[in-house]
Amino acid sequence: MQYAELGRTGLRVSRLCLGTMNFGPRTDEAESHAIMDRALELGINFFDTADRYGVPTASGQTESIIGRWFAQGERRERVVLATKVYGVMGKGVNDRGNSAYHLRRACRASLDRLQTDHIDLYQMHHVDLGWIPPHQRDYLGEGIEFYDPPHLRPGAQWTEIWQAMEQLVMSGQISYVGSSNFAAWNIVEANEKAAARGFLGLVSEQSTYSLARRHVELEVIPACRAYGVGLICYSPLGGGMLAGGVGEADEGRRAELRLSDRQREQVAAYEGLCRDLGEEPANVALAWLLHNPVVTAPIIGPRTMEQLEGAVRALEIELPDDVLRRLDEIFPGPGGEAPMAYAW
């Protein structure tokens, strides 16, 4: 197993991160525990979850599954544990967001579900803009309306957020703070505000990034490089598009894909290239991410033991320059970093 420092910290994490979003909704508890056991055996020490994982069955279900696994003993101190906060977790008006009120309560609830006394990487699942994501509105109570004073910017501000995070660090409940789904300017603002307080700030950003979705190359990746922020990539297989056998699967995300004619052409060309290389498409997609020095780890989210075992092969794949050029031809990115991607 390969290990990398997480951003500008001295913390070393495996270059494959075990994503747990399938635990509960798609993978039962016994199989989830077996996958985590095998991940440790393979040297994967970086586990990612979130307080909301488990929906639509129940928010918190995935953290609870992990907590019962920790409770079996001799596991917690072998894992760098990352979870997330922000999403709607109840019907109350403050059961969401990044306010100090919610951060304190949500952290305590996550610790209880995870059956641990500390979280290694506490990630804000979204920048707080004072709004409710459309897919989470149904979880709030009925008749709730928000009023935003016109002279104030909606959402928790960085002074409040960093004060709350500092308290969580000082109390030993969390070690590091990360972000997820942040824009480049959010990363810059957050870390400038943290630096002004003498606080470490964001050490990682978790973004969707794959051959099929390369928009973070414009500004997020340059911001991460400039501020020493490690990039953790979710949906590294493009929602199943790069997993191989698209159109043949009868379960999982591949079975739910609806591709355009252009995307089907891309997938056909990509899978042909992978056959020429003698490698599984999913592993080539992971290897492509791993060749980017800003990437700390792609998140693999196995539903089965077979998927977990197969992903480790990606660490051994080296992609020569001609293959990288061919991948760029099949899945052209935004043209490089801003502003050169669209201007001189």
Q: Which residues are catalytic?
A: 53
End-to-end CA distance of the chain: 41
Exposed/middle/buried for residue 46 (C-beta within 10 Å: 0-12, 13-18, 19+): buried
- What is the token pair recorded at 28? 């039962």
**By three-state DSSP, how is residue 8 classified?**
coil
**By three-state DSSP, how is residue 163 classified?**
helix
Do 83 and 110 form a contact (C-beta atoms < 8 A)?
yes
Positive or negative CA dihedral for 334, 336, 339, 343? negative
Exposed/middle/buried for residue 131 (C-beta within 10 Å: 0-12, 13-18, 19+): middle
Exposed/middle/buried for residue 320 (C-beta within 10 Å: 0-12, 13-18, 19+): exposed
**By three-state DSSP, how is residue 43 classified?**
coil
Distances (CA, A) of 58 to 47, 199, 325: 20, 35, 44
- What is the token pair recorded at 38? 């095998």
Neighbours of 260 (CB within 10 A): 8
Distances (CA, A) of 314 to 151, 270, 280, 284: 51, 16, 9, 6
CA dihedral 314, 81, 56, 108 (to 10 degrees): -170
Give percent helix, percent strand, percent coil of the chain, each to the nearest 5: 40, 15, 45
Q: How many alpha carbons lie under 13 Å from residue 210 in its C-beta half-sphere? A: 21
